[in-house]
């Protein structure tokens, strides 16, 4: 829940660029898939720069 809230807060400020370090790490498999799809949808709509860091 905290992870999703942090991501929502980041988008509220309408940044020009978004740096995401392990944004899906603390989520269960089902929510990870849902949130990843939502992040892609938001990126497709806004076309803002997103730097997405993952270790997997």
Going from N- to C-terminal start, the domains of the chain cover: 2-53
Residue range 41-52: mean pLDDT, rounded: 87
Whole-model pTM above 0.85?
Answer: no
- The pLDDT of 11-39, averaged and rounded, is 87
Q: CB-based contacts of 25: which residues, under 8 Å, 6+ apart?
A: 3
pLDDT for 14 equals 84
Those residues with Cβ within 8 angstroms of residue 26's Cβ, 6 or more apart along the chain or in another chain: 2, 3
Which pLDDT score, from 0 to 100, does residue 1 have? Answer: 64
């Amino acid at each position: 829940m905290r992870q999703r809230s942090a991501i929502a807060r980041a988008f509220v400020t309408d940044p020009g660029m978004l740096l995401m370090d392990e944004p899906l790490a603390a989520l269960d498999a089902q929510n990870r898939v849902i949130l990843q799809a939502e992040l892609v949808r938001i990126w497709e709509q806004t076309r803002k720069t997103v730097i997405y860091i993952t270790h997997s």
